[in-house]
Structure formats: structure tokens, C-alpha cells
Copies of this chain bind each other. A is one copy, B any other.
Amino acid sequence: MKLSTRARYGSRALLDIALRGNEEPVQLKEIAQREEISLQYLEHLITPLISAGIIRSQRGAKGGVMLAKPASEIKLSEIVNILEGTIDPVECIENPTVCERSNCCVTRDIWDEVKKAMDSVLENITLQNMVERYREKENPEPVMFNI
């Protein structure tokens, strides 16, 4: 029930990109260094994100990658889905025909509830939220200043 490194590294990489503003391309090499992901492996994660239209790339010298749309429009559920595939804990959720019991299976119903619970978290977090959380951690709001 572990997330693969794809989704983990990928979301960290995207947060890294989002944190640099979105003014000029961020080089993969930099991201790889900061996030301690091998450049070659990072490239594997970047490719599907480009195809999916989450980021776009600038080739050649001074190239790099940028978010292809505002951070507030990139949901974590989308990222996980691209890198990890569906989050369904069992295959019969997505594809009921794999098991003839699907329509009457109690355990299937439950795994579906589990999936929905996860989804409701991932659907409600955007890259923008993550950036805000990051800034808050970096520089916490003073708690209670005046009376």
C-alpha cells in the first residue's frame, strides 16, 4: 500500500518548480540536485508530466521546465494519477469485470470507500496549497501578538 517513488519524487519536483516562481525555466539538473533525485530518473518523471500538460519544457541552452498552468489549477490527485496510475486499492474498482463477484462483493465496496477517502484529500490539495504550506513552515505566523 505504498506510494511509488514516482509519485513521491514527482510531487516534490513539482513543488520545487512551483517554488521558483514561474518566470523562467528551471533546469532539471538543479531540481535533481536540490531534491536529491538522479537526473536520469527525474527525466523519467518529467516526461509524462509534460505529455499530460502539467509542465512544459524549453529545450536547449538556458532551457528547463515550467508549470504549464497556474499552480492553483494543478491538483495533487492529477499528479498522482499521472505518475502512479489510478489510486484504486484493488483492480476491480476500475475494472469490475476482472472478478465475477464484483457486483455483490462487500469487500470491494469497502475498498471503494477507502479510495474515495484518499481521493477527497488529493482532490482538495493544489500545488498552490503546497507552496503556501511550505512558506508557512519556512516562516511561521507569529501566534498571538497583541491581546
Contacts and interface: CB of A to CB of B under 8 A. Distances in A.
Contacts of A85: 1
Contacts of A55: none
Leading 5 A-B pairs by shortest Cβ distance: A117-B117, A3-B89, A106-B133, A106-B134, A117-B121
B125 A89 contact: no
Contact of A11 (B91, B107, B134): B107
A88 interface: yes
Contacts of A50: none
Given A3-B90, A109-B133, 5 more contacts: A2-B89, A11-B110, A110-B121, A114-B122, A118-B118
A114 B121 contact: yes
Contacts of A138: 104
The secondary structure that dominates the A interface is helix
Copy tally for this chain in the complex stands at: 2
Interface in A111-147: 111, 113-114, 117-118, 120-122, 125, 130, 133-134, 137-138
A3 B106 contact: no
Contacts of A125: 110
B137 A91 contact: no
A24 to B, nearest CB: 23
Contacts of A84: 1
